[in-house]
């Protein structure tokens, strides 16, 4: 995958890097990883999981029946692992570049003297 991952996709892959999870577990883990900034609804999550499975980034790990309902667990595929690693490195480089620029700006910033209309105070 050459294009940057969208944040929800990045967080889903990150959650699955720890262990296989079912949908509700993924919803909770994405909320934790994002400090509750990203809240996935079930329809959104399962649509994303279908796309990630089709892209070969995620695989179905196993299925089980709990309380008469099918629970499907997903895991990160080797391709998904490589994609997550590449995206993490891309983000790390971006953060490093921004951090350098902000540090340079802080070093070279000159204090400004407040000006009042008509001259200096």
The pLDDT tens digits for 32-54 are: 999 999 999 999 999 999 999 99
The CATH number of the domain where 89 resides is what?
1.10.10.10
48 domain residue, yes or no: yes
Instruction: Give residue 106's pLDDT.
Output: 85
pTM across the whole model: 0.83
41 domain residue, yes or no: yes
25 domain residue, yes or no: yes
58 domain residue, yes or no: yes
The DSSP code sequence of 40-62 is --HHHHHHHHHHHHHTTSEEEEE
Q: Which residue has the higher pLDDT, 5 or 116?
A: 5
Contact 53, 59 (CB under 8 A): yes
39 domain residue, yes or no: yes
111 domain residue, yes or no: no
75 domain residue, yes or no: yes
**Residue 55 scores a pLDDT above 90:** yes
Give Cα separations from 28 to 25, 33, 38, 54, 103 (angstroms): 5, 9, 10, 23, 36
pLDDT tens per residue across span 88-118: 999 999 999 999 999 998 888 777 767 777 6
Average pLDDT over residues 66-79: 94
90 domain residue, yes or no: yes
Q: How many domains does the chain have?
A: 1
Confidence of residue 119 (pLDDT cuts 50, 70, 90): low
Domain that holds residue 97: 7-106
């Amino acid at each position: 995958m050459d294009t940057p991952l969208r944040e929800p996709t990045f967080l889903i892959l990150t959650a699955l890097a720890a262990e296989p999870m079912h949908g509700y577990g993924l919803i909770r883990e994405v909320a934790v990883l994002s400090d509750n900034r990203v809240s996935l609804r079930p329809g959104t999550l399962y649509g994303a999981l279908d796309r990630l499975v089709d892209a070969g980034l995620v695989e179905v790990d196993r299925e089980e029946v709990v309380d008469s309902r099918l629970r499907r667990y997903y895991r990160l595929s080797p391709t998904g692992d490589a994609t997550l690693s590449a995206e993490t490195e891309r983000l790390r480089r971006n953060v490093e570049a921004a951090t350098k620029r902000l540090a340079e700006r802080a070093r070279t910033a000159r204090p400004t003297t407040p000006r009042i209309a008509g001259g200096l105070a």
